[in-house]
């Protein structure tokens, strides 16, 4: 399943890239993400909590940065296991940061995700809707963090 979106922020490209390439800052913009741990060498562990349909799911995830091309893009591989259900979540994230002008940056992301096991039996359409909702919240949080850092995510 692939979900993608694009949005603009009133912030210079270099500043946006510095923010998104700092996992501790970026994690605060991801809905339900907590307990980020630096595992070294571009690897991170985190807990991700989401409510999908009638289920509250908690995942232990690992994120591995596979490419960092300052100031324009980064790629990561994500793997996770839910704490209460059999299954697996795996995927890739491609994030591109492109200057529109000196003060405006366009951010484009693509999440390509696979869900297996009992977790996958819930249904791709349910997960797609949840991923799109989380993507919208991520975009709002990231815009707020970049344009009003003193007020964001308080």
The full DSSP string for 83-147 is SSSS-EEEEEEEEEEEEEETTEEEEEEEEEEEEEHHHHTT-HHHHHHHHHHHHHHHHHHHHHHHH
Paired tokens of 42: 């571009």
Asked whether residue 144 carries a pLDDT value surpassing 90, the answer given is yes
In 3D, which of 134, 75, 152, 143 has the Cα closest to residue 107? Answer: 143
pLDDT for the residue 149:
67
91-114 as b/e: b if 16+ CB within 10 A: bbbbbebbbeeeeebebebbbebe
pTM for the model: 0.87
114 and 3 in contact (C-beta within 8 Å)? Answer: no
Q: Give the CATH architecture of domain 2-147.
A: 2-Layer Sandwich (3.30)
CA gap 93, 96 in Å, rounded: 10
67-92 pLDDT, tens digit per residue, is 999 999 999 999 999 887 788 989 99
113-139 pLDDT, tens digit per residue, is 888 877 777 666 777 788 889 999 999
pLDDT for the residue 47:
96
CA 23 remoteness from chain centre? 10
């Amino acid at each position: 399943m692939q979900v993608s979106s694009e949005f603009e922020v009133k912030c210079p490209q270099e500043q946006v890239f510095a923010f998104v390439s700092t996992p501790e800052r970026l994690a605060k913009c991801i809905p339900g993400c907590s307990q980020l741990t630096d595992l070294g060498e571009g690897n991170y562990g985190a807990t991700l909590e989401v409510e999908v349909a009638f289920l509250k799911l908690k995942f232990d995830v690992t994120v591995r940065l596979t490419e960092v091309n300052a100031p324009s893009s980064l790629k990561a591989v994500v793997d996770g296991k839910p704490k209460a259900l059999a299954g697996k979540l795996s995927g890739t994230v491609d994030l591109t940061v492109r200057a529109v002008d000196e003060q405006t940056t366009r951010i484009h992301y693509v999440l390509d995700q696979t869900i297996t096991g009992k977790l996958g039996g819930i249904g791709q359409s349910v997960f797609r809707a949840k991923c799109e909702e989380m993507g919208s919240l991520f975009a709002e949080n990231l815009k707020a963090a970049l344009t009003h850092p003193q007020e964001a995510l308080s």
